[in-house]
Every structure is written in C-alpha cells, then in structure tokens.
Amino acid sequence: MKIDLITLATPFFILAVILEIVLARFARTTTHYEAKDTMTSLGMGLGSQVFGLLTAGLVIAATLWVWQHRIFTIPMTAWWAWVAIFFLEDLVYYWFHRLSHERRFWWAAHVNHHSSQHYNLSTALRQTWTGGVNGSWLLWLPLAFVGFPPPMIAIEKSVSLIYQFWIHTEAIRRLPTPLEYVLNTPSHHRVHHARNPRYLDSNYAGILIVWDRMFGTFVAEDEAEPPRYGIVKNLGDFNIIRAAFHEWVGIAQDIARDPRHTLGYLFGPPGWSPDGSRQTSDQIKAAWRARQPSLASGSDNPIAPRAASRR
C-alpha cells in the first residue's frame, strides 16, 4: 500500500524537480542544484525504496499481528477515523523525527536526509537506506493496537511523506500567516535542515508545525540569518555509500576504540563523547549563545530565556 501511493506520486515528484530547475535556470527563483549532489540525493531515494523491501515484510507482519490484538475496531469507512489518524500519525511522526535527531542510534539512519549542503526538491527524495533496521517503525504500532487498520496507517504515512516533498524548496518564501502558524512549511523546514547553531534540532513536524509549538522545539526562520544547509560536519565528497552508512561506521569505530562507552555512543545524543572532545547540538547552541552579547543578558530572541534558565 505504501509503495503504491509513493509510486503513483513519483511522476509528479519528477515533474516538480524539472519545474524547479527550469525556473531557476531562467532566474525565476534563487534555487541551486549541483549535479553530483543531485545524483547522490536521487540515488538515495531510489536506494531507500530497494532497501525498504528488506524489512517491509517484517514491518507489515508486526503491524498485522498487533492489529489482531487490538483494543477497538476502527472502520476505514468512517470519516472521523481519518480525522483521528491524521492527527495521531502526525504526532507519532513528530516523536519519531525528534528521536531521530536526539539519539545517535536513530540519527545514524536519519542523517542521510540531512547530509546535502543543498535544499531543493531533490533533497526531499534523499531518504534513508537503514530506517528499517533501527526499529523506529515500532513507534507506529500503537496505532494498530488502538485499532486503526494497517492499510489506513500505511496510507497516512505515505500522505505525510508526500506532503513533506513540496516543502523542500527555497522557491517559496512564506505562506499566508495562518498557514505558517499551523502547517509545516518551506520556511519552517528550511530551518530544520540548517546547520547554523541557532537552528539546530528544531521543527521536527511532519505536516502540522503545532507539535513543535506545543513541545517547545519551534524556531522561526530569521530573514537576517539565512539557513546554511547540511550537517555539523559536512561530508567530504558525494560518494553514495559514504552518505548511506557513514554514521553507522562512526558508531562502530567509536565502540571498537572504547567499548566501555558502547551505550553512550549508541544512545547518547549525536556528538556525544566520554571526554567531551566533540560537541552535541546542545553544546554547539550553548557556545553560540555565549558568543551573542545581546543574548547573554536576555533579549527578545526566543532562544535567550532558555539560555538564561540553564545558567
């Protein structure tokens, strides 16, 4: 079911990428594409479909098994069921995505989506090859346990993925304010892909940005500080195998060197090290705050109050 919707959407993905490139070619937008980067991003997209098959059977079987032990029976034909799963799936996505950034075992799979220094529609298709192996799909099982039919969950997951495609663009600056308040938009997601310290670990939303506003992870795009895209330590080349597996290799190297800290290297935040020789996102942000004279004393910057309360 999942593959079906994504497959149906693929021709539109392709047309949209062509449109974005052609608009940029004739100077209608400020979008940038670099051919090698585009190759890696799109190759990651195709590879993720292929690798996804390896664990798809397990995910479907587990979902069906849980659904057979469900509490309620929710009909796929009821309108309210679709409304409910829209909100609940999006809430699950928020926590999946937050976990994928805050703990290295899940970041190792999700980092793929962030390792491009570009932000365009091809970046949206830069998807993980290893998302099936870290068990993050378990987070969706409670929906089946409550009683949502597995095809309904699969459809809603696809809807979320397809929604998130179009927001990977610099061609759209801002939507009307009410929409920016409620929806995940190109502006909010640009912030999510930025490596500027002030933007790190924010805007985890899938479709609704309200979760970030509720749980304190929302950061607005500041026109005065354009996002610089990528990861804290950008990749040194465009090798697709490196892009797919580098963080797993990094974890393995760290554990081999210092097995006493296996748990920290696996489940600590990305950038964690026992001797503090590397920096986590929180440490990078704290250092950034300390460099801002106006923020140290408290200011109208939304990040400042947190800085003050931590001292």
Partner 1 sequence: MTPAYIIQTLVSFLAILMLVGIAWWAKIARHAPDLDEASARALIADEFPDHAVGAVWVAADHRSALARSGDEALIVYRAGDGYVARSTPWVRLAEGRPGKGGVALKLADFTAPRARFTLAEGATWPPASLGDAP
**Nearest distance, CB of residue 34 and partner 1, angstroms:** 4
Reduce the DSSP state of residue 139 to 3 states and report it: helix
- Decide if residue 84 touches partner 1 (CB under 8 A): no
Phi-psi region of 54 (alpha: psi -120 to 50; beta: other; left: phi over 0): alpha
The mark string for 174-213 relative to partner 1 (x by CB under 8 A, - otherwise) is: ----------------------------------------
DSSP letter for each residue of 145-158: HHT--HHHHHHHHH
Rank residues 32 and 306 by Cβ distance to partner 1 and give the closer one: 32
Residues 6+ apart with CB under 8 A from 276: none
The mark string for 269-308 relative to partner 1 (x by CB under 8 A, - otherwise) is: ------------------xx--x-----------------
Q: What are the CA-CA distances from residue 93 to residues 143, 156, 160, 202, 215 (Å)?
A: 12, 11, 9, 14, 14
Which position among 4, 28, 32, 83 is part of the footprint of partner 1 (CB under 8 A)? 32
Contacts 24+ apart (CB under 8 A), 171-178: 171/20, 171/23, 171/24, 171/29, 171/30, 171/31
Rank residues 85 and 243 by Cβ distance to partner 1 and give the closer one: 243
Rank residues 21 and 183 by Cβ distance to partner 1 and give the closer one: 21
CA neighbours within 13 Å on the CB side: how many for 138? 6
Q: From CA 234, how far away is CA 218, in angstroms rounded?
A: 24
- Decide if residue 242 touches partner 1 (CB under 8 A): yes
- Decide if residue 122 touches partner 1 (CB under 8 A): yes
List contacts with partner 1 (CB under 8 A).
7, 10, 14, 17-18, 21-22, 24-25, 31-39, 42-43, 46, 49-50, 117, 122, 230, 233-238, 242, 246, 249-250, 253, 287-288, 291
